[in-house]
Amino acid sequence: MSQSRSESGTATGVRDAFLAQAGFCERLGSPLTALLCRVLADGVDSTNELERSILAWRGDPSPCADSLPLRLAGALHALVRAGRVPALAALYPPHPLADPPRLLAAVRSALGENGAFVREFLRHPPQTNEVGRAAPLVAGWLEIAARTGYPLSLFELGASAGLNVIADRYAYRFGDTPWRSDTPGSGARAGSAEVMVACGWSGPLPPLDAPLLIHSRRGCDRHPLDVTDLSQCERLKAYVWADQRERLERLDAAIGAMQTAPIRVEACDAQQWLASVLPSASEPYVTRVVFHSIFWSYLAPAAQEQITAYVTRIAAEASMERPLAWLRLELLGRDQPAALRLTLWPGGADELLARVHPHGAWVHWGE
């Protein structure tokens, strides 16, 4: 850092948070957000009230806690998308990456002119719903369908807008191999635009010919996003990094598909919801699938223990006629890929199905 300021530990923590986020964005393929975070790390100062309040963030600004850098990047992208900051928009895609001093000047002017909007935006944690994760999740559903041979009852924890609870309605490219569900009850709905999820694939393919029949689907979230509310959709899009056009286009298409789907994510804490929906869902010749992606780290250890104990207790009653699966796509650690794990009862062995890019850009299937 080039500044020779004498600052509080809080301000230094804020600058470190922006630098850490810049590193993640570089590794996850967003040069624009990386540059934005770098110029903010060095360039935010205390000459105006908003920037002062950013430097004096109450809480932990780091990427693994309050994610202040992603809150601010989201606020700026929201302003660009709304057409409120033409000078900054001129430095966003499709325009080439700007030089750092120009970007910083445009960012500071956007912050200066939109203080109330940005302050309000910063109050909320980033909320995403990454459709790229549908590829490993659907591959996991196929694996479960192949092993049990039954239709699936899906229960998603931390479903956000619910875009992955309808993942069987999207089209896929697992590497060079196209796949779409043609089982009745699955597959794209007439009239909705195709959602194409393509990912790099290494290792064997999942059992693509397994009969993927969805018996029922439900999802819960502590703060669900309603895809019929345009301002909530805009917010979801604002958190996608502005230079990742493919993710944005895919998100748009998935929102369209969800708008025509007859399900809504239920507003509830996962622990409570699971206890209310899982026992009554036990039916013969149906596999109950509890699944989640990039959700576990949001839970306090006590909540993680509660959910684990609850699933394990229900699993004790699972049988060949009433199997239960627990599919988890969760980060292995800070700045690491995610792991797709499956536990299927009866049996209950915990298996690693795949290693996965955090946004689903690639999947390495198998050990």
Ligand X SMILES: C[S@@+](CC[C@H](N)C(=O)[O-])C[C@H]1O[C@@H](n2cnc3c(N)ncnc32)[C@H](O)[C@@H]1O
Separation of alpha carbons 217 and 364, rounded Å: 27
Provide the 8-state DSSP code for 150: S
Q: How many CB atoms lie within 10 A of CB 187?
A: 16
223 binds ligand X (CB under 6 A): yes
Q: Which of 221, 243, 286, 326 binds ligand X (CB under 6 A)?
A: 221
Site for ligand X in 156-185 (CB under 6 A): 158-160
Site for ligand X in 128-147 (CB under 6 A): 128-130, 133
The contact pattern for ligand X, residues 267-306, with x = CB under 6 A and - = no contact, is --xx----------------------xxx--xx---x---
Site for ligand X in 237-256 (CB under 6 A): none
Q: Between residues 179 and 273, which has the closer beta carbon with respect to ligand X?
A: 273
Least distance CB 351 / ligand X (angstroms): 20
- Using the contact rule CB under 6 A, the part of the chain among 64-72, 125-133, 205-213, 250-258 near ligand X is 125-133
Separation of alpha carbons 281 and 265, rounded Å: 17
- Using the contact rule CB under 6 A, the part of the chain among 116-124, 197-205, 215-223, 308-316 near ligand X is 215-223
Grouping H, G, I as helix, E, B as strand and the rest as coil, residue 345 is strand
Q: How many CB atoms lie within 10 A of CB 204?
A: 8
- Using the contact rule CB under 6 A, the part of the chain among 24-32, 50-58, 127-135, 209-217 near ligand X is 127-135
Strands 324-331 and 338-345: antiparallel
Separation of alpha carbons 278 and 14, rounded Å: 42
Per-residue CA distances from 192 to 167, 170, 215, 252, 257 (Å): 13, 10, 21, 12, 6
30 binds ligand X (CB under 6 A): no
Measured CA angle at 155 (ends 344, 189), to 5 deg = 115
Provide the 8-state DSSP code for 297: G
Q: What percent of the chain is helix, strand and coil (3-state, nearest 5)? A: 40, 15, 40
Least distance CB 295 / ligand X (angstroms): 4
Residue nearest to ligand X (CB): 158
Q: Between residues 147 and 222, which has the closer beta carbon with respect to ligand X?
A: 222
127 binds ligand X (CB under 6 A): yes
Grouping H, G, I as helix, E, B as strand and the rest as coil, residue 7 is coil
Binding stretches for ligand X (CB under 6 A):
127-130, 133, 158-160, 220-223, 269-270, 293-295, 298-299, 303
